[in-house]
DNA sequence: GACTGATTCAAACGATTGATTAATTCTTGG
DNA sequence: CCAAGAATTAATCAATCGTTTGAATCAGTC
C-alpha cells in the first residue's frame, strides 16, 4: 500500500473505489472477487493490493469514500446548538422535523439527481448496518453517532418524562421507518405497481413527520385533539 | 439428490440443514463453504450435493425448514376473519395489537426460549429480506404476503378516511420500525453498549404498539387526550 | 539521455471453492 | 444370509480465490 496517492494514481484509485461500491453493494463483500471489481474499473486486479493493501482495505476505503462524499444535511443539523430555555420545545419540534427531512433527502440523494453511485452507497451502508464487519463497525459507529445524539437531544427535550431506554426506543422507531422505507424501495414499488414510487417525496416526508410526532406523543400533531 | 429421504439419512439431512442455518446466518451465503457446514454437522461435505443437489439446494432447503418449523403466530392471525359490523373498530385495534405482538415474537422467536437455531433462522431471514437471492425471493414473498394483507385490513378499518396510498404509508411505518429493529440489532447493541439488548422484549412490544397506534392516529392511544 | 521512484501489467503463486468420482459401509426386503 | 440399493467416505476434479512476483511503463529530476 502506498503512503500518499499522487496525481497519477488518483484516477485509478477513484475508479477502483467507485467500482467497489457498485459491486459490493450488489453482491456483498464475499460475493465479489477483486478481479470483477478491477474489470469494472478497467484496472489491473493487482492494484487492489498495491493501493489499498488488499480486498478488505478497498472495502474500508469504499466506506470512507461514501462517508466523505455525502456532505449530509443531517451532519449539518448534528452540529446545531442545544435547545434550551423558553422556546426549547418549539425548537426541538422544528429540529425533529428538520432531521426527518434532512435524513430523507440524504437517503434518497434527491438533491443530486438519480445517481447510481449514491444509490449503491446507500445499499452498501444498509448491508453494513445489518451485518457489520468487525473491522468497519467502528467506522460506521463514528459516522452514525452524531446523528443519533442530535435526534436523541430533540426527543429528550420533547419527552423529558421518559427514561433513556424509552427515548432510544422512540428514536429507533423514527429512524426505523425511514431506513426500512429506503431498504425496501424495490418491494414497495412492486406492491404499489408503480416503478416510479415515490413520485411525491414531499408527501412521504410529511407522512413520516406526522407519524413520528404522533407516535412520539406530541399533542399538536394529533388531529383529533388539535382543536 | 435422492428422491425421498429414508429414516437412515434423515438425521444427517437434519444436522446439515441446522448447521447450514447457523452458519449461513452468521456469515452469509457467500461467506461460508460447504466444508465448514459439513464439519459443523459432523458430516461429509459430499453429502451436501448428494442430499440437496448442491450448496444452493441446501440453502433453499434451510429456508423451507425455517418456514415450516416456525408455525408463525402471524400466520394464524392472517387467517382471521375480516372485521365487520359493530365492534369492527375495537376488533381492528385488537387485531393490530395482536399483529405487532405476533410479528415481534416471530421476529425474536422468544416463545421457545433462547434457541440459537431460532435466533439464527431469523437472522438468516433478515439477510434474505434485505438482499433476496433470485431463487428464493418467490419463496419469501409467498411467506410474507398474507401478513401484509392482514395488516392492511386492520389499518383500512381503523382509518377508512385515508387513501390506499396513505394506508400503505402507515403500514410501511409500522412494519418498518419492527423490521429495522430486527435488522439492526447488531448496531443497536453497539449504540446502547449492551450486547444482551433487548432484555425486556415486552417493553419493546409495548413501545411499538403504543407508537404505532398513536402514529396511526388512534385517539384512545394518545395519553394526553385519553382522560 | 540516464536515473529514480511511483504506477501498471501479465503471469503465476498456494489455498480454497463447489462438485465429482469410485470405493466402502450401512440398511433392508426376500 | 445375501444381494441390492441407499448412505457415507476419502480422494480428487477444475475453477476461482486473494495475493505475490518481477518486469514494463510512466512521470519527473539532475
DSSP string, chain B: --SS--HHHHHHHHHHHHHHHHHHHHH-STT--HHHHHHHTTS-THHHHHHHSSHHHHHHHHHHHHHHH---HHHHHHTSPPP-STTHHHHHHHHHHHHHHHHHHHHHT-TT-S-HHHHHHHHHHHHHHHS--HHHHHHHHHHHHHHHHHHHHHHHHHTTTS-HHHHHHHHHHHHHHHHHHHHTHHHHHHHHT-TT--S-HHHHHHHHHHHHHHHHT-GGG-GGGT-
Q: Point out the residue among A166, A170, A180 whose CB comes nearest to the CB of B179.
A: A180
> Whole domain around residue B52: which residue ranges?
7-68
In this prediction, residue A129 carries a pLDDT of: 80
Residues whose CB falls within 7 A of nucleic chain D? Answer: A 7-8, 32-36, 45-46, 48-49, 54-56; B 2, 5-6, 8-9, 11-13, 43-47, 50-51
Within a domain: A24? yes
| CATH code of the domain covering residue A100 | 1.10.357.10
pLDDT of residue A102: 87
Would the CB atoms of A219 and B224 count as touching at under 8 Å? Answer: yes
Strand C within 7 A of A37 CB: no
User: What are the distances in angstroms from CA B220 to CA A162, A222, A225, B82?
Assistant: 20, 12, 11, 22
- pLDDT tens digits, residue range B150-201? 899 999 999 999 999 899 999 999 999 998 888 778 777 877 788 888 888 8
Q: What residue is closest to C8 (Cα–C1')?
A: A44
**Helix, strand, or coil here: A6?**
coil
Given B68, B91, B111, the domain boundary residue is: B68
Does residue B172 share a domain with residue B95?
yes
As given in the structure block, the three cell numbers for residue A19 are 467500482
Are A173 and B148 inside 8 Å of each other by CB?
Answer: no
Identify whether residues B148 and B61 lie together within a single domain: no
Instruction: Please report whether residue A224 resides in a domain.
Output: no
Q: How confident is the model at residue B56 (pLDDT cuts 50, 70, 90)?
A: very high
pLDDT above 90 coverage of chain A, percent: 48
Q: For B146-161, how does the pLDDT look when each residue is reduced to its tens digit (9 = 90+)?
A: 888 889 999 999 999 9
Which residues in chain A touch residue B215, judged by CB atoms under 8 angstroms apart? 210-212, 214-215
Cβ–Cβ contact A141 with B under 8 A: yes
The residue out of B68, B94, B119 marking a domain boundary is B68
Q: Are residues A32 and A104 in the same domain?
A: no
Instruction: Say what the pLDDT of residue A75 is.
Output: 66
Domain end position, chosen among B21, B50, B68: B68
Best probe of the B interface among A142, A183, A211, by most B CBs < 10 A, is A211
Q: Are residues A34 and A128 in the same domain?
A: no
Residues B46, B80: one domain?
no
Q: Are residues A43 and A120 in the same domain?
A: no
Residue B226 lies in a domain: no
Among residues B66, B179, B109, which one has the least CA distance to residue A181? B179
Instruction: Based on the fold, state whether residues A80 and A158 are members of the same structural domain.
Output: yes
Distance from CA of B215 to the nearest CA of A (A): 4
- Residues A81 and A187 both lie in one domain: yes
Contact B214 A219 (CB under 8 A): no
State, as a whole number of angstroms, the distance between the CA of B154 and the C1' of D21: 66
Question: Does the C-beta of B11 come within 7 A of strand C?
Answer: no
- Pick from A123, A134, A212, A214 the residue to mutate for testing the B interface (most B CBs within 10 Å): A214
Please indicate, yes or no, if residue A155 is contained in any of the structural domains. yes
Instruction: Identify whether A15 is part of a domain.
Output: yes
B222 close contact with A: CB closer than 8 A:
yes
> Does A53 share its domain with A154?
no
Domain count across chain A? 2
Give the CATH number of the domain where residue A47 resides. 1.10.10.60
Smallest CA–C1' separation from A50: which nucleotide?
Answer: C7
Contact map slice: A 50-109 vs B, CB within 8 A: none
Of A184 and B209, which is predicted with more confidence? B209
In a domain, A222, yes or no: no
Res A126: pLDDT: 80
Same domain? For A102 and A204 the reply is: yes
- pLDDT of res. B141: 76
What pLDDT tens digit does each residue of chain A (227 aa) get? Answer: 444 555 666 789 999 999 999 999 999 999 999 999 999 999 999 999 999 999 999 999 999 998 887 656 666 666 777 777 788 899 999 999 999 998 888 777 655 556 788 878 888 888 888 788 878 878 888 888 888 888 999 999 999 999 998 999 999 999 999 988 887 777 777 767 777 888 889 999 999 999 999 999 988 777 654 33
Question: What is the average per-residue pLDDT within B138-142?
Answer: 79
Within-domain flag for A182: yes
Same domain, B127 and B194: yes
Higher pLDDT: B71 or B120? It is: B120
Residues A77 and A59 in one domain: no
Nucleotide nearest to B46 (CA to C1'): C19
| Residue B225: pLDDT band with limits 50, 70, 90 | very low
Closest nt to residue B3, judged CA to C1': D6
Is the CB of B211 less than 8 angstroms away from the CB of A173? yes
The answer, yes or no, to whether residue B6 has pLDDT greater than 70, is no
- pLDDT category, B224, cuts 50, 70, 90? low
| pLDDT averaged over every residue in chain A | 84
In a domain, B1, yes or no: no
pLDDT at A8: 62
Amino acid at each position: 500500500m502506498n503512503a500518499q496517492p499522487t496525481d497519477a494514481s488518483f484516477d485509478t484509485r477513484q475508479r477502483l473505489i467507485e467500482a467497489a461500491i457498485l459491486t459490493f453493494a450488489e453482491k456483498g463483500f464475499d460475493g465479489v472477487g477483486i478481479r470483477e471489481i478491477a474489470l469494472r474499473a478497467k484496472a489491473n486486479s493487482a492494484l487492489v493490493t498495491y493501493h489499498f493493501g488488499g480486498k478488505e482495505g478497498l472495502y474500508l476505503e469504499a466506506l470512507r469514500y461514501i462517508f466523505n462524499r455525502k456532505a449530509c444535511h443531517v451532519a449539518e443539523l448534528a452540529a446545531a446548538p442545544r435547545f434550551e430555555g423558553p422556546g426549547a420545545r418549539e425548537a426541538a419540534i422544528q429540529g425533529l422535523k428538520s432531521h426527518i427531512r434532512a435524513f430523507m433527502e440524504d437517503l434518497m440523494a434527491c438533491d443530486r439527481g438519480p445517481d447510481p453511485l449514491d444509490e449503491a452507497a446507500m445499499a452498501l451502508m444498509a448491508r453494513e448496518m445489518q451485518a457489520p464487519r468487525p473491522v468497519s463497525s467502528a467506522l460506521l459507529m463514528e459516522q452514525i453517532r452524531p446523528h443519533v445524539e442530535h435526534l436523541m437531544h430533540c426527543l429528550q427535550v420533547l419527552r423529558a418524562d421518559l427514561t433513556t431506554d424509552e427515548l432510544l426506543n422512540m428514536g429507533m422507531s423514527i429512524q426505523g421507518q425511514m431506513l426500512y422505507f429506503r431498504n425496501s424501495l424495490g418491494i414497495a414499488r412492486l406492491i404499489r405497481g408503480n416503478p416510479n414510487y415515490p413520485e411525491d417525496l414531499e408527501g412521504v416526508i410529511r407522512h413520516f413527520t406526522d407519524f413520528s410526532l404522533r407516535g412520539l406523543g406530541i399533542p399538536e400533531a394529533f388531529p383529533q385533539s388539535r382543536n
